[in-house]
Structure 1
Amino acid sequence: MLITNVRPWGGEPCDIEIRDGVIAALTAHAADRQAPADSVAGRGRLALPAFSDVHCHLDSTRIGLPFRPHTGGPGVWGMTMNDRAHWREDEWGVAERATHTLGRMIERGTTRVRSYAQIDADCGLERFEGVLAAKEAHADRCEVEIMAFPQAGLLKEKGVPELMDQALSSGAAVVGGIDPCTLDRDPVRHLDILFDLAERHQAPIDVHLHEPGPLGVFSVDLILERVRALDMAGQVTLSHAYDLGSVDEATTRRLIEEFAELDIAMATVAPAQHHALPLADLTAAGVRVGLGEDGQRDFWSPYGNADMLDRTWQLAFTNRYRADELIEHCMAVASRGGASILDGNLPRLASVADRPGLAVGDRADLLLLDGETVTSAVMDRSADRTVLHAGRVVADALQLVG
């Protein structure tokens, strides 16, 4: 395939040749070049690596259904119980909702996804199976990694570790954990179970961490201790970790350095809180950082619309970025930053100026997007988009192809 007249990361116009799903050559655009029948007209648009959503909950999405007023109570447990009380009321089942939302994500430029699948005493494996059905429905358009996620904790209800084990034997690829201290109130036992499951299934770990500053640092230190003892560098992601940046400067610096040393990745959803570890400092230290949409118009929150370009804008806005380099960095985090979490063989972003993903040998997961510059495209969020996965067009003008 040949993609004609595009501007990689806003650079000079070029043509991109794709063979066997990867970028084979980039050459200066020649207006008189005869394009093959299966070529894609870039029309001077930007060429960017496609988005990687590393933190979403396809099992809870309500996109496509009538809007429902928010009824959740405060705190993780209150919100969890509100979701439990209502998730079966929806007009569509989990598989239909997850498949619809994943399609909408692909249409808007996402081709790699890590989705949580809630597993607890109430739903058993039903929600996991719904996400698995969505993954299979879009297998040719998007790469989906499913996390077995104990939203209500591992220890508060009987049988959850066994259900997690079943999910990991049935297609889940990641072991999920959540707030070892504030939810399960037994961090040692919680982490014993997580790391045992990870060892038995040879799976990475992703821990939801909402815990406040010093308590969050305590939980993180327990995780770091186990990563060292079990030689699991590069196998752990911390999601949210909203408040780790609220502690003293020396602790903040230590955490960033240890995350880089042990290749602990971080997944953010661009929250409004201002106590997260600083994005630019994490990148400068060599920490993998990815972006996700979290819940998408579900029983937890009315926010989320399946568009990672909107969430990229939010990442820049909540970090108070104005400089073009930093706003473009948010695009790099939302695309190749997240991809490097899902595929540890991909290099970490080297600096806030690093713009990877469009070199010869890179997988041709691409987003062609209208915009004068990358920054203007993040601000304007045009609907003029063409999405490629492994060298094949999977969506155009916000519609799935094929």
Structure 2
Amino acid sequence: MLVSNARPWGQEAVDLEITDGLISAVTPHDPHLPDAGVVDGRGRLAIPGFSDVHVHLDSTRIGLPFRAHTGSPGVWGMMLNDRNNWRDAEVPLPERVAGTLERMIAYGTTRVRSYAQIDANCKLEKFEAVLAAKEKHAAGAEVQIMAFPQAGLLREPGTVAYMEEALKLGATVMGGIDPCELDRDPVQHLDIVFRLAEKHQVDIDIHLHEPGHLAHFSTELILERTRALGMEGRVTLSHAYELGNVSEAATARVMEAMSALDISWATIAPATKGKQFNLAAMTEAGIRVGLGQDGQRDYWSPYGDCDMLSRTWQLAFTHGLRQDELIEHAAAIATWGGASIMDPGLRRLRSTSERPGFNVGDRADIVLLAGETVTSAVMDRGTDRTVIHDGRVVADQLELL
């Protein structure tokens, strides 16, 4: 296949030759190309496919009637709000999970890391819905499923056994959450997380909402286990915003350790109080940074619209970015940054000026979208998009093909 007249990252127009799902040649645009086998870029921007590395497909209400938010503050209160309501939704869970993934692909997301809540109440029901959606849309996106103990690992008997069963059935990421605040036994919680990950040879992703010094304490325990088990490049901290709120020295120490152990950071670009990690500093330290939508208009929050271009705008806005280079860097995080978390074999971004994804040998996951520049596309968030995954056109004009 040939993608003609596309502008990678808003640069000069080129023609992209794709062979066996990979970019095999990049040449200046030839206006006299034959029509056969050619996807017309029409001078649109080309960026890598979006990577949503923090989404809860299992709690989605995308496409359903709006309902008033009824959740109580805090992780446990929000979890109970989901638990008390998700079975009574207007559409069965497998249908709405698959529909949400379909919409994400149509908007340009070609890599997804989705949580699947596992606890004594839902058991494997949510995991099975996410697994079915992954299989249904395998041609449109690569999906990793995380076995996630939203209610903790220790508070309800039977949770750990269900978690391990999900790993046996195809989950490729082991989740953890607030080892101190939720389970109140960080050593046992993290020992279980790392033991199961090592046993089943899967990655780790830990939700960390804990405040200040508590977040740093949990992170120290995570660093120790990553180092001891040789799990460099296999661990992600999600949220972890309070790691930037204790002191500059403490933040610098944890960033240095994350870089040395290749521990990634996944953000959902929230409007947090206090300091967030500085995106440029994280990148220059060699820390992989990815972006996600978190909930999708669900029982936790009315936010989320399946569009990672919207979330890229939010990332730039909440970090106060105005310069084109930094806003384009936010787009690089939303695309290549997340991809490098899902596949540590991909190189880490090292500066805010890197614009990856269009070298010979790169995977042909591409979004063509209207815009004068990448920054203008982030601001305008238009609907003229063509989505290519593994060298195949999978969506056009926000419709799955």
In structure 1, the residue matched to 2:347 is 347
Other structure's SS at 1:357 match: coil
Alignment match, 1:211: 210
* Number of residue equivalences: 400
Partner of 1:43: 42
Q: Which residue of 2 aligns with 1:367?
A: 367
Q: Could you tell which deviates more after superposition, 271-280 or 261-270?
A: 271-280
Q: Which amino acid aligns with 1:146?
A: I
Do 1:57 and 1:295's aligned partners in 2 also have CA atoms closer than 8 Å? yes
Unaligned runs of 5+ in 2: none
- Using the TM superposition, give the Cα deviation of residue 397 of structure 1 relative to its aligned residue in structure 2, in angstroms: 0.2
Deviation, structure 1 residue 375: 0.3
Q: 1:114 corresponds to which residue?
A: 113
Instruction: Tell whether 2:319 aligns with 1:319.
Output: yes
Alignment pair present for 1:166 and 2:165: yes
Equivalent positions of 1:134-283 (< 5 A) are 134-273=133-272, 274-283=274-283
SS at match of 2:57: coil
Distance 1:173 1:32 in 2: 46
Secondary structure, aligned partner of 2:241: coil
Give the structure 1 partner of residue 57 of structure 2: 58
Percentage of pairs with the same residue:
65
Please give the alpha-carbon distance, in whole angstroms, between the structure 2 residues aligned to 1:32 and 1:358. Answer: 22
Q: Which residue of 2 aligns with 1:3?
A: 3
- Whether 1:67 aligns to 2:66 is yes
Output the CA distance in 2 between the equivalents of 1:78 and 1:275. 25
Q: Deviations over 1:327-382 (max 9, x none)?
A: 00000000000000000100000211111011111000000010000000000011
Displacement of 1:114: 0.2
Deviations 1:90-134 (A, max 9, x none): 021221111000000000000000000000010000000000010
Q: TM-score, normalised by structure 2?
A: 0.99
Q: Does 2:25 align with 1:18?
A: no
Deviation at 1:32, TM superposition (A): 1.7
Q: Does 1:388 align with 2:391?
A: no
Q: Is the 8 A contact 1:315 1:330 kept in 2?
A: yes
Partners of 1:192 and 1:275 lie apart in 2 by: 30
Provide the rounded CA distance (Å) in 2 between the counterparts of 1:143 and 1:32.
35
Identify which range, 350-359 or 322-331, moves more after superposition. 350-359
Deviation string for 1:63-106 (max 9, x for gaps)? Answer: 01101110000100000011111110102122111100000000
Runs of 4+ in 1 over 3 A off after TM superposition: none
Shift, 1:275, TM fit: 2.5
Return the offset for 1:276: 2.2
Q: Which residue of 1 aligns with 2:28?
A: 28
How far 1:38 moved relative to its partner? 2.2
SS of 2:121's equivalent in the other structure is coil
Matched with 2:82 is: 83
Paired residues for 1:289-308 under 5 Å: 289-308=289-308
| Distance (whole Å) between structure 2 residues aligned to residue 167 and residue 275 of structure 1 | 36
Which secondary structure does the structure 2 equivalent of 1:166 belong to?
Answer: helix
Are the aligned partners of 1:59 and 1:128 in contact in 2 as well (CA < 8 Å)? yes
Counterpart of 1:27, as a letter, is: T
- Please state whether the residue corresponding to 1:140 is helix, strand or coil: coil
Tell me the residue number matched to 1:92.
Answer: 91
Q: Distance in 2 between matches of 1:92 and 1:150?
A: 24
8 Å CA contact 1:310–1:381 kept in 2: the answer is: yes
Q: Say if 1:70 and 1:302, in contact at 8 Å, map to a contact too.
A: yes
Distance in 2, Cα, partners of 1:92 & 1:193 = 35
SS of equivalent residue, structure 1 residue 382: coil
CA distance in 2: counterparts of 1:3 and 1:333, whole angstroms: 24
Distance 2:231 2:3 in 1: 40
SS of the residue corresponding to residue 59 of structure 1 reads helix
**1:101 is paired with a residue of what secondary structure?**
helix
The answer to whether the 8 Å contact 1:241/1:276 transfers is no
- Per-residue CA shift, 1:289-334, capped at 9, x if unaligned? 0000000000000000000000000000000000000000000000
Residue 318 of structure 1 aligns with an amino acid whose one-letter code is T
Distance 1:144 1:32 in 2: 38
Tell me the amino acid that sits aligned with residue 130 of structure 1: A
Deviates more, 1:228-237 or 1:119-128: 228-237
| CA RMSD between the two structures | 0.7
Query: 2:30 & 2:281 partners in 1: Cα distance?
Result: 41
CA contact (8 A) 1:242 1:271 kept: no
Q: Distance in 2 between matches of 1:351 and 1:278?
A: 13
